Amino acid sequence: MRKRLIVSLASAAALLLAVPAAASGPPAGFGAAGVGDPYYPTYGNGGYDVSHYDLHLKYQPATDRLEGTATLLATATQNLSRFNLDFALDVSEVLVNGRAARFATTGEQELEVTPAVPLAQGAQATIVVRYAGTPSKVSRYGFTAWLRTPDGGVAAGEPESAWWWFPSNDHPSDKATFDVSVLVPDGTQAISNGILTSQRSSLGWTRYSWRENKPQATYLATLAIGHFDISTGTTPGGLPVFNAYSKDLGENAGAARASVERTGELVDWLSGYFGPYPFSSAGGYVPNVPTGFALETQTRVFYSPRQFASGSNSSVVVHELAHQWYGDSVSVQHWSDIWLNEGFARYAQWLWSEHENEGTAQELADYVYATHPAGDAFWNVKPGDPGAENQFDIAVYDRGALAIQALRNTVGDTAFFEILKGWPAERRYGNASIAQFQAYAERISGRPLGDLLQTWLFTAARPAAPAAGAKGQAEAPQGLSASAAPGAPREPRSWKQIAATNAVHEHEHAREHGAR
Ligand SMILES: [Zn+2]
């Protein structure tokens, strides 16, 4: 393993502090290098909790040079003589509570920080990190999540994207509020999450200041710099909407706008199912990137232009906006809980199809079930615990939504829609596991759901019966393909549009992940 060690020459006094020699295991007082995620053991860190990120950045679109000062407000959850941040750019200085701290980089994205004065459990810490780099040139695990565009750059990726633009405790279990302020040359825009609180120009440079005032997971923080056409407004419910479109989307420009401009309408429509929208702004942006995925970055959804290459797609907008409740406001406890994000975002697309008279959720469920015969590899993926390599497999989406239809048919529509709306309120701005969802759904419905979820989420085989409605739906006999089965469900009219969003979380680096 390549190991790089950087010692801050500026903190000469700190050099006098001896670092305990690495004996057997991490010494007491060292924060863990990972938060304990079963899929990504080195992601996030132990020993502290961040409540706020203040990012003061400067970006040169011509060279992709990013300079920044990050100020993190944190609380030690144990005695800490050393702790880690996750970061990949070059660090020049670290201060903890105003005093120079020693720091070193290890592994792929670990920044080890040794404060001049150890932190006691419960102590508040202000951590300042000065840094710079060219994020598009920084590769970790064989990829970069920073997307270079002809006129700037974009940070968007799941589960990793923060390493390329700010130091963090990079795991959804540690959410925090954000102030992001970016200095860019006049004529260039900088877009991030939440509300644009100020925009000031001086001497050829403009500073854009953004605020996300609700807790946000680090992978849901986004930054886009480039030349954009901006569209602002409010929903009928009074929510501010901010959308942005790269000026060079070419022939995708019309379809992109025809889709993303429906954000306000679709937020209000989804509120009918999921309850009040949890954030103080909404919107999306479409930068000129060559990728194919979209991502539910908080309040400001990232869309690749390719999502609109075949025309407008309101379904992908529904998917990403559904995540604002299922994924952003209520975030996974561990990445293995990904069904709580993707199953429900896909199910929202089924509800939209039903609303648009393009196929009911039951018809979509029947079709998914019928098109994957027993023995199809589709059934090998357990949506409730897919493994890191299959975290964004199509089965997490389609079988995940099938599981939700099975839940609906088991508890009945009244309890089902009460659960659908009540869960985001129950866990608002927090984190949750699938087990906690099960307990909640059992409480609301009054039914034991362990066997149902075991069958649909945690078994690597095709369930014996489809997620049938009360009427009893046609079932493709096992071993027969749907087309060969008499009375097999027809393809719902919405199917192709929903399928067109399947690159939603496509990862350019999927192979690298799989090999890890
Ligand atoms: Zn999704």
* Helix-, strand-, coil-residue percentages of the chain, each rounded to 5: 30, 25, 45
Q: Ligand 1: distance of its center to the CA of 453 in Å?
A: 20
Instruction: With cut-offs at 50, 70 and 90, classify the pLDDT of residue 486.
Output: low
Q: Ligand 1: distance of its center to the CA of 506 in Å?
A: 10
Q: Ligand 1: distance of its center to the CA of 342 in Å?
A: 5
- Helices 394-426, 339-355: crossing angle, 10 deg rounding: 90
CB 441 within 8 A of CB 339: no
Q: Ligand 1: distance of its center to the CA of 327 in Å?
A: 8
Q: Ligand 1: distance of its center to the CA of 332 in Å?
A: 13
Give the model confidence (pLDDT) of 139-181 as tens digits. Answer: 999 999 999 999 999 999 999 999 999 999 999 999 999 999 9
CB 314 within 8 A of CB 262: yes
Q: Please state the separation of Cα 147 from the chain's center in Å.
A: 16
Give the model confidence (pLDDT) of 59-97 as tens digits. Answer: 999 999 999 999 999 999 999 999 999 999 999 999 999
Q: Ligand 1: distance of its center to the CA of 477 in Å?
A: 31
DSSP 33: S
| Alpha carbon distance 154, 136 (integer Å) | 10
In the predicted model, is pLDDT for residue 416 greater than 60?
A: yes
* Residue of higher predicted confidence among 26 and 452: 452
In the predicted model, is pLDDT for residue 6 greater than 50?
A: no
Q: Ligand 1: distance of its center to the CA of 295 in Å?
A: 7
This prediction has a pTM of: 0.90
Q: Ligand 1: distance of its center to the CA of 284 in Å?
A: 14
Q: Please state the separation of Cα 502 from the chain's center in Å.
A: 16
Q: Ligand 1: distance of its center to the CA of 331 in Å?
A: 12
∠ Cα 247 282 62 (to 5°): 35
Which residues, in sequence order, are CB contacts of 152 under 8 Å at separation 6+?
59, 61, 184, 188, 224, 225, 226, 227, 287
CB neighbour class for 31 (10 Å; exposed up to 12, middle 13-18, buried from 19): buried
Q: Ligand 1: distance of its center to the CA of 321 in Å?
A: 9
CB 162 within 8 A of CB 218: yes
Q: Ligand 1: distance of its center to the CA of 6 in Å?
A: 38
- Phi/psi for 371 (5° steps) reads -80, -5
| Alpha carbon distance 191, 182 (integer Å) | 9
Instruction: With cut-offs at 50, 70 and 90, classify the pLDDT of residue 366.
Output: very high
DSSP 355: H
Pairing of strands 152-155, 223-226: antiparallel
Q: Ligand 1: distance of its center to the CA of 445 in Å?
A: 26
Identity of the residue numbered 445? S
In the predicted model, is pLDDT for residue 14 greater than 90?
A: no
